[in-house]
Chain A
């Protein structure tokens, strides 16, 4: 069974930094693209970043480009989001999510089918 568990969400001041982690298990981590998606309380979903299965490519929403950095680690399998220059509008639940299909399935990109429960980041003075 796929298991994704986010951690690291806390209250941080504007301009501060934060590192989120997502522990992944139950699947072959190195075969899947991974994502971060956020949702401000009472608001909609916002895709913010993707990292390729091999860690060589990463993509960002304009709202976080230049401030956030996605990465992945092995042993244990983890997805990381380094968040810098935080703003009040970055306050949200942050979810990690996995592509529905492994990279070699041949259709390029996929929706996310497995999600963690999210970790809450609050940016406030």
Chain B
């Protein structure tokens, strides 16, 4: 499954909204469970990735509620409302639909305008 993120880079003013999209080459909705096997990660320089959202829309404990995941089947969005300086990072989507092979999007670099 190929994951394609857009844009590759994004500059947003402080306090404004950032939107990153991720498209999968096939549906990653497992209908018996009604769950999308899609996660979002944040990575800051020199650090490993941090899991922000799993199941397309479930925030991890401690993740600010300005981070919102949405979408289903093949099209997904990470929205960051009211951008803060500490949100500058790389963001990746991950599909974990099958243990046969997980795959990440190519990443989106988020900067302050």
Contacts and interface: CB of A to CB of B under 8 A. Distances in A.
Interface of A: 33, 35, 44-47, 50, 52, 57, 59-62, 95, 97, 100, 107-113, 115-118
B49 A115 contact: yes
Contacts of B39: 111
Nearest to B60: A113
Interface in B84-113: 90, 92, 94, 96-107
Contact of A109 (B48, B60, B98, B105): B98
Nearest to A61: B101
Interface string B66-100: 00000000000000000000000010101011111
Contacts of B97: 109
Given A47-B104, A50-B102, A116-B48, 18 more contacts: A44-B90, A44-B104, A44-B106, A45-B104, A45-B107, A47-B103, A57-B99, A59-B100, A95-B49, A108-B99, A109-B37, A109-B97, A109-B98, A111-B51, A111-B54, A112-B49, A112-B51, A117-B48
A112 B103 CA distance: 12
Interface of B: 30, 33, 35, 37, 39, 41, 43, 48-49, 51, 54, 60, 90, 92, 94, 96-107
B39 to A, nearest CB: 4
B96 A59 contact: no
Nearest to B47: A117
Contacts of B102: 35, 47, 50, 109
A97 B94 CA distance: 14
